[in-house]
């Protein structure tokens, strides 16, 4: 555990970060949908962010109230929707798509995909660790 931080506090921070990042990316996806028209990949990404934002609220409530079921819901949602977000970005930012023409943008998009992969799995790790901690406290 990093610097002996409280897993409960980490879950709350992850929830708030998911809401902030999700809202920002959802706004950007909405802008792209309005600008470029109804692209199904952008629509899937926007719906995925809506689900993640709703699950982030459940994560915060589950962490504060110590409800393991809500933590499990977050883990399932973040892994499922996170992988969908990664796949959507791979599809949208491949050079065959002419949505963006700069090569540097594709390089940055590739780096962002790698960062997103790390964020998805770290966002699932801390709630899982906190859920295990709650279960261990329950059995003691």
CB 127 within 8 A of CB 63: yes
Q: What is the pTM of this model?
A: 0.83
Residue 126: burial class (beta carbons within 10 Å; 0-12, 13-18, 19+): buried
- Rounded distance between C-alpha atoms, residue 47 and residue 85, angstroms: 10
pLDDT tens, the chain, 140 aa long: 455 778 889 999 999 999 999 999 899 888 888 988 878 888 998 999 999 999 999 999 999 999 999 999 999 999 999 999 888 888 877 665 555 556 666 677 777 788 888 888 888 888 998 888 888 887 76
| Three-state secondary structure readout of the chain | CHHHCCHHHHHHHHHHHHHHHHHHHHHHHHHHHHHHCCCHHHHHHHHHHHHHHHHHHHHHHHHHHCCHHHHHHHHHHHHHHHHHHHHHHHHHCCCCCCCCCCHHHHHHHHHHHHHHHHHHHHHHHHHHHHHHHHHHHHHC
């Amino acid at each position: 555990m990093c610097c002996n931080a409280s897993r409960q506090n980490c879950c709350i921070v992850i929830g708030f970060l998911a809401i902030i990042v999700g809202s920002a990316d959802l706004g950007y996806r909405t802008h792209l949908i309005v600008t470029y028209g109804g692209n199904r990949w952008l629509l899937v990404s926007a719906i995925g962010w809506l689900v993640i934002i709703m699950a982030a609220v459940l994560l915060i409530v589950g962490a504060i109230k110590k409800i393991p079921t809500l933590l499990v819901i977050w883990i399932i949602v973040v892994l499922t929707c996170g992988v969908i977000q990664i796949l959507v970005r791979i599809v949208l930012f491949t050079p065959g798509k002419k949505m963006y023409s700069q090569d540097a943008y594709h390089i940055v998009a590739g780096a962002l995909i790698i960062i997103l992969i790390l964020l998805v799995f770290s966002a699932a790790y801390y709630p899982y660790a906190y859920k295990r901690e709650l279960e261990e406290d329950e059995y003691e």
